[in-house]
Structure 1
Amino acid sequence: MNEVIKTLLNHRSVRSYSDKAIKKEDIDLIIKAAQQAPSSIDGQQVTIISVEDKEKKYKLSKLVGDQKYIDEAPIFLVFCADFYRAKIAGEITGEKIIITDSQEANLVGAVDVGLAMGNAIAAAESLGLNIVPIGGIRKEPEEVIELLGLPEYVFPMVGLVLGYGEGPSMVKPRFKPEVIFHKERYNKDLLQGIKDYDKVIEDFMTKATGGRDTKSWSEMMSGTYKTIYYPKVKDALEKQGFKGIK
């Protein structure tokens, strides 16, 4: 097993951080790694905004749902889907860019951001840093957009806490490969695999939290997805120019 695979398989999210500074050269490498991720039609539809200002990090920690590790860690990265540069390209060539009127723009932006963040996470962890992604960046999107000065056709998709973790952290078990890796066609016979995983996660959560949380995967998923937990996303996307009408 090579070192890249070892880094990927050792991934864990860390939710307690020291304020130890990160070397500039390490940040530069992480951003370069993120940039090298594949992107749709080489559009590079991603912008990464680093937030190190203490007051701004604190505000963001509140906006995303009181997640204190944003405030604790030395740097917070916000990954944005970005078609602003494409609009400028259209101005240069005299073409009207209409991709942001379609759902395809939402999907392209999300995929490009996910690929870039995956590279950033792998790079950071290979350098001995710890991370935790923050989907809550979409909880109050209009306030985040204003705070970060995002222009039209740019939307904050996900955040990434970056720093040196404090305290123990465990690698969370995943589904058995046969639950998520299907050959030739989708295998809908998943009930037993999910039930087996529920037991694994119950045991993991009990151990990881000292018995404070014993929920299964099914309980966590159904408890979350029974609501639209970030209801302000649609209106905020439309205000940023992502119409999604086609």
Structure 2
Amino acid sequence: MFNTMNKNNLYETLMNHRSIRSYTDQKVSEEELTLIMNSVQAAPSSINGQQVSVISIEDRQTKEKIAELTGNQPWVAQAPVFLLFCADFFRAKIAAELNEEQLVITESVESILVGATEVGLAMGNAIAVAESLDLGIVPIGGVRNQPIELIELLDIPEYVFPVSGLVVGHPADLSAKKPRLPQKAIWHKERYDTNLEGLIKEYDQTISSYMDKRTNGKETRGWSQEVSSFYNHIYFPEVRKMLEQQGFDFK
């Protein structure tokens, strides 16, 4: 029987997660990519709809263009593989046509929630397997920065939209682990506890010290300052237009 007091290999892999933004020239093997993709398909799926597709890109020029579209993130081009995770209802459209049914779910925001949830579950599996193989990764939310251009670049059909990218490669160096919020701030027992201000202030100090050390004093902002600077505007304004273009109508 598994003793929860003893950490197993999976737990250690998950707890050692960090985002890697510097990679060697060593290729990711086809076998390693297959293991990652096997784990993607093994993820839980609502109604067994399997609303996830992954486009793997290894071509240097294509990765350079994606790096530009995602906000000039050089590690996208540097790493040997870029995986684009998409929510996919195109297969559901084909299923509907085969059965002379109408695809109506894409007229509800539920389709976005289902698709994004399934991408998150699948990407979590992919990250865990990649890191268990001693590969480095970094998720790229910037695929939603200029999503229409990305859709055109990769010939993505209707009823499919990019949710997140994943850089995969062999780390050139290991980043420091970023401290997380105090567990009490995210683990609510029986009822949601809204008394969080003190915990957030505490975490601000932790992140400020971490950033000060990481940047040699160039950056000392806390967590609340960082989050506030992102969420005071819509930083990916093309998402709604992209979803409408791809056939998702929430009127």
Count of residue pairs the alignment pairs up: 245
Distance in 2, Cα, partners of 1:168 & 1:120: 19
Within 2, Cα distance between the matches of 1:168 and 1:5? 19
| Unmatched runs of 5 consecutive residues or more in structure 1 | none
- Aligned-pair CA distance for 1:48: 0.3
Any idea what the Cα deviations from partners look like across 1:64-112, whole Å, max 9, x if unmatched?
0000000100000000000000000001111111000000001001100
* Moved beyond 4 Å, runs of 4+: none
Query: 2:87 pairs with 77, 81, 84, which one?
Result: 81
**Alpha-carbon offset, residue 214 of structure 1:** 1.2
Q: Look up the match of 1:190.
A: 196
Normalized against structure 2, the TM-score is what? Answer: 0.96
CA distance in 1, matches of 2:174, 2:112: 37
TM-score scaled by length of structure 1: 0.98
Secondary structure of 2:211's aligned partner: helix
Shift of 1:244: 2.2
Q: Which residue pairs with 1:71 in the alignment?
A: 77
What is the aligned counterpart of 2:104 among 85, 95, 98? 98
The offset of 1:41, in angstroms, is 1.1
Please give the root-mean-square deviation of Cα atoms over the aligned residues, in Å: 0.7
1:158 corresponds, among 160, 164, 167, to 164
Q: Is the CA contact 1:106–1:244 (under 8 Å) kept in the aligned structure 2?
A: no
2:22 to 16, 28, 43: 16
Match of 2:225 in 1: 219
Q: Percent identity?
A: 53
Are positions 1:141 and 2:147 aligned together?
Answer: yes
Answering whether residue 212 of structure 2 is matched by residue 202 of structure 1, we say no
The residue matched to 1:178 in structure 2 has which SS?
Answer: helix
Separation (CA, whole Å) in 2 of partners of 1:87 and 1:184? 40
Q: Which residue type is aligned with residue 238 of structure 2?
A: K
Distance in 1 between residues matched to 2:27 and 2:166, nearest whole Å: 16
